[in-house]
Structure formats: structure tokens, C-alpha cells
A and B are shown apart, each in its own frame.
Chain A
Amino acid sequence: MKIWRVHTISYEFDDEKCTCGIGLCVEACAQGSLEFNEETKKMEMVNLEQCIFCRQCEDVCPTQAISIKGALTLQEIRVC
């Protein structure tokens, strides 16, 4: 498990679960925060600073290897 943090938000990536071999999350990332490592065939976080927490990566991952915690979401706001 790899965890990257920015302020109260943590970006958690379970590299053992990362098995699609295509980099679906990398392709879905509009900000260029993620890159595909062609040797390991896994995702790599290259620039968390650019992440806008749009959650596209989390959305497309077929094996739920990515989870973003502590960011604002639609659900939380509706509860307020």
C-alpha cells in the first residue's frame, strides 16, 4: 500500500491490486498526475500537486486499487 498525502486528503494506492495492465487510471487523469510504468505495468504517482481530486482514476479502476480519503464529495455535502 502506498499513501500520498496533501493537507487532510490522502491518496491511497494498493499496488498489489493494480492489475489491469493498461493504466486506465492514467488515461482518465486529466491533470497528468499519474504515469504508466511500462516495465511494471502499474500506475505511478508522478505529480500529486496537480491533482484536483476529480476521482476519475478511482472511478475507472476495475479492481478498486485506488481510494481517495478526506476530500470533499457530493455525498458529504448533501448530508450537510
Chain B
Amino acid sequence: MKTRMDECDVLVIGSGMGGVRAAIEARRAGLDALIVDKSILARASATIFAGSLVARRPPEYLVKKGLIEPGMEFDRPFDESFRYFVKGGARTGGSEYTANQRVSMTVACDMERRADELRDFGVKDIFSQMWLGPVGRKGRDIILPMVDYAKKIGVRSRQMTMITDFIRQGEDIIGAIGFDILRGEFVTLWSKAVVMATGSHGQIYERSYAPIRMTGDGYAMAYRAGAALSDMEMMGFDNWGIAEPGLPQYWLPPSLARLSGVLRNARGETFFMKYAQEHGIIGEGATLSLNDTFSKRYGRPFIELIPHLIKACQTEIMEGRGDGAAVFIDLTQVPEERMYLDHNGVWTLNILRGFDWKKRPIRIAPICMGDFKGGGVDIDEKGKTTTRGLFAAGDVAPGSSLLYALVTGVLAGRNAASRALHLQMPQVSSQTNDWIQHQQAQLETILQRTLQDGPEPKDIKNRIKSVMWRCGGPLRHEDSLREGIDSLTKVEEELASKVAASGSFRKLREAVEALNMVTVGQMVLSASLYRTESRGYNQRVDYPNRDDKNWLKKTIITREESKMKVRPEPVELVFISPEESRERKQ
């Protein structure tokens, strides 16, 4: 089969916020930057659905109007922002102090400047982009002008090109291989530095509202190329996933509607009230009135309640007090005007179409958020991974949020550029060429298999997702994690030897995604098994408490002699430690 070659100074994989920003940075340094995406530019990224940038304290009038509750994640001056990143994205508990604090500090220091800079790219109405106007499509309104700007300054792009692996020669990454879905040919791209901005892996779960192309390809590719990944067990879940038959698998967007309402199990019991009393999470001034919002009711900021909400709901479901795999949120008393809210262009009432929420409670269950997670390809404060020539930006690095992507995009783009400025195009060894041919031959085998030889990639994907949800979901146990690892190993064998793309490059993309999903799934399960405590996103039923004495550590995953190795790495508490944080709160 034909192979098309191309070369550039800085190769950027992925076209969400991190990728586009990195490419702009490299191009501004006068280099030839090429963005490659497995789908179309920007549109398949999580950025499109991302919320506002959240860089500043909200204007008073929004608080006064009741659009922002004081104490919500948005009310966040610098110190709070920094802590947010240190905690690894506090939304549902984050990774609680295992994030790289130097990177967090860089992000917190840089974010306002980076957000302001968006004006240069033609992003309109920065104020409302930064500060959650009540409605609007934030991520989309930021990324689309950025893509136009990137094209205008001469960033090249290549769409519908799936990258399957990085090319590693000796210690250096010197490009990437893949295939062009539209032309139906293999592609080899040579470059002096590579920025990966491939997004996260929300789609490895059965219940997930991550965009469908978020299959964690970057994690798997980085792993195969020898880079280290940290805290892969830290995968964020949210409590408000709709589980009503006939309605889409999405969440109740974070409109104020969901901040009031009453949670009940199948017996009609208000189980969270009981849970809150038993677990001592009721704060000062709690009204305990079901008519109040969650934060007033329990006397705590809503974000602090989310991890408990997930745990309580999942426990109800697992112990059989739910309605099948769901519990109920009763919104019947919520005033209708509160339901007229959107989340980045997705309207609550469009999702609930025709469902009579005024009369009936809605079935909900935990759901994987995908974009909120604490793990990823390990980077330092220069956006460098542990493999030379490979940089990471955005969700593929250990962090999340648009600002994180924006700042790490700049870091990765800039440092990739400074590497590229000093290098010549790499000389390719015959060994490398052999390796490329071997990889292409494997893809060709999958491509030529037909349905008589094996299952479609989609079926295998569904099996992976179901294993991951059952064994590595919001609440985990040693037995389930081990079972999950065994099941995925079996799926992996079948996948490698049987999966059939029936001559279609679109199906080949799905097959490669499925292969990557298995690897990423194994990482999540292995890291979770290794961390014998409950911290942030990693909630273990068999180790229910956080253990700061032994576990103020990251889990690091590397590939050694073709095997997955997990090891702990102490966190450098350079700026803030859990003790200090406690003192400041008091």
C-alpha cells in the first residue's frame, strides 16, 4: 500500500485547545508546525463542549443575581486557583495533592495572561468567556477563532489522519506514523519535536459523556514509546448522569436546577441525608431543609459534596436499594425558570425532551466525566514528557480544564520549538524503517480481515467499556480490579488476532482506538489496584480512607520489557501540603 511522507519542525497531534495553542506557539517562533487530527479540526475535541475559562473572581453582579453561589468552584482568586490545580481539579475530589505542584504553579501564574491573550486570536467577548455568562457555547466560541487564527499565520493541518504510534529512534521521538482515512493510505510524518494533545480517555467507560473520539490514544502511544504516565487511576466521575430509558446518556448540566432537588432511592428514602449524618459531612449553618440547595442544606460548598454524592449513590445502587442501576433525583419542586439553563450550548430541557420532570423524579446514576481527571502522560513545568522530543499539552497531561490546556499548550509548543530550532531533520536508520514497515504490515492485516475472521471493532469497544464500568468504575475493590485486568487481557488477545476492519479505514481507526482503549484500561485498573487507599477520584471500597502517611505519592506507569510496571513516586510538596491547607482553612 502507498505511504505518503511529510516532514515538519513541530508535529502536533490533536486539535483541541492544547494542540491548537501549541501549534500557534511553534509557528510564532517561525517554525513549520503541522496539526494532525484523527477527525476534523477542533470539532471532535472535548474543548468544544468545555465550560468557561474560569480565570478570575466572578463579577459581583453575577453573585448578586444568584447565578453563582458563593463558595462554588468559580469563586476563585489566585490562591484558590492554584489549590484547584494542586488538588488535581477539585470538581469531584481531584487527585488530592498528588498533582505536580511546579506545573500547577506555572498554570496558576500564567493563566490570566493566557486568557487575555485570546483577544489576539480573535476570540470575542473575553469577559463572558472567562466568566460563565449564564448561557453560551464557551469552548466552541474560543477554539473556532483560534483555529482560524492558526491557519492564518501559516500553521498547516491534516485532518482525518489517525496517528497510531510515535517513531522512536534511540532515545528520541522523531515523528509519527498513521494512516489517512479519506485517501486510504499510510502516512509517515517526520519531525524534530512532537507535541501530543490527544485528549483524555473518557470513552473507555460504558457510562460516559465524553465525546466519542476520546479513547485515550495518546496515553497508549506514549506508553508504547516509553514515556511515563502518572496517576492513571484518577478518573473523574459525576453523580448526575441521566439513566432514564429513552433519554440520552448525558448528564444534567450544571445548571442551578440540579443544586436543589431531592435524592431518593427506590424505596423513596432520602438516603443522602442519612449518609451525610453518618459520615459527619454536615457543616456549620446547615439548614437540613430539602427545599434548600444542596450547599445550604448541608452547610458545605457544593463541590465538596460531589465525591460524597457519588459514593452515596453508587453505594445505594451496589447494595440493591436503587432502581436497577439508578437512583432518583426529584426536581418536581424546582421552579421551571431554573431549568431554562444550558451548559455550553446543550440545554437541559432539550435533553429531558418530553420527560415530565414536574411530575416524576428522574433516574440518575454516576457517569464518567472524561475531561475531569488527575492522571496522564507525566510532564514537567516545561511541558516535556520523560521521553526526549515528546511534549504533552491539555487533557493528555495530568490535569484538566481549558486553562490547563491553554497554559500547557504554550509550554509544550514553546519548548518543542526551542528543541526544533537547534536540530537538523533526523537521519533515519534502517532499523527504524524496518519497524515502520512492521507496524504498517500489522495494520494491513487488520484492514484485510473480514467479518468471517472476527468481530467488528465496535463490538470489542463495547466489551471493553462494559468491563471497565463493572470493574474500574466509581467504587473499586481489589477483586473487581483483578477481574477487570484478566478480562481485558483476554479481550486484548482476541483484539490483536481477530478484529476485522473489512477494508474500511474508518473501521481501522475504530480498531486502533479499541487497541488503545485496552492498554489505557489496563493502566487505570493496575494503578488503582496499586494505590491501596481512597484518594480523590480513586475510591476503593476495601481501603475507604485517605492515607497521607504512606500514599502522598503518584503512581507511575512505565513499560519495561513489554510489561506494564507500576511504581510509587513521592510528591514534591514544594508549595503546599495537606497540613498547611488545613491550617489555612481554619
Contacts and interface: CB of A to CB of B under 8 A. Distances in A.
27 contacts: A6-B354, A7-B353, A7-B354, A9-B350, A22-B40, A22-B182, A27-B43, A27-B160, A30-B49, A31-B248, A31-B249, A31-B250, A49-B247, A50-B249, A52-B346, A53-B347, A53-B350, A53-B351, A54-B345, A72-B340, A72-B342, A72-B350, A74-B136, A74-B137, A74-B345, A77-B340, A77-B342
A8 interface: yes
Given A38-B506, A49-B248, A56-B48, A74 B353 contact: no
B67 interface: no
A51 B342 CA distance: 15
Interface string A41-55: 000000001111111
B349 interface: yes
B135 interface: yes
B43 A9 contact: no
Contact of B504 (A9, A31, A38, A80): A38
Contacts of B43: 24, 27-28, 56, 60
Chain A CB count within 10 A is highest, among B248, B340, B342, B351, for B248
Contacts of B288: none
A52 B352 CA distance: 9
B287 interface: no
A6 B353 CA distance: 7
Contacts of B49: 30, 54
A9 B350 CA distance: 8
Interface of B: 39-40, 43-44, 48-49, 135-137, 160, 182, 211-212, 246-250, 340, 342, 345-347, 349-351, 353-354, 504, 506
Query: Quick one: which of B137, B182, B353, B354 has the most chain A CB within 10 A?
Result: B353
B340 to A, nearest CB: 6
Interface in A9-42: 9, 22, 24, 27-32, 36, 38
A65 interface: no
B212 A29 contact: yes
A24 B212 contact: no
Contacts of A36: 506
A51 B506 CA distance: 21
Given A27-B43, A50-B249, A56-B48, 12 more contacts: A7-B353, A22-B160, A27-B160, A31-B211, A31-B212, A49-B247, A52-B250, A53-B351, A54-B346, A72-B342, A74-B342, A77-B135
Interface residues of A, number: 29
Contacts of A52: 248, 250, 346, 350-351
A51 B248 contact: yes
Nearest to B341: A77
Nearest to A38: B504
A30 B40 contact: no
Q: Which residue, B340, B345, B350, has most C-beta atoms of chain A within 10 A? A: B350
Contacts of A32: 212
Contacts of B349: 72
Interface string A64-75: 000000011110
Contacts of A53: 346-347, 350-351
A77 B255 CA distance: 15
A49 B506 contact: no
Contacts of B351: 52-53
B353 A9 contact: yes
Contacts of B48: 30, 56
B383 to A, nearest CB: 27
Nearest to A28: B43
Which 3 pairs show the lowest CB-CB distances between chains A and B?
A7-B354, A30-B211, A7-B353
Query: Could you say which of A24, A49, A53, A54 has the most chain B C-beta atoms within 10 Å of its C-beta?
Result: A54
Given A9-B353, A38-B506, A74-B136, A30 B212 contact: yes
A27 B39 contact: yes
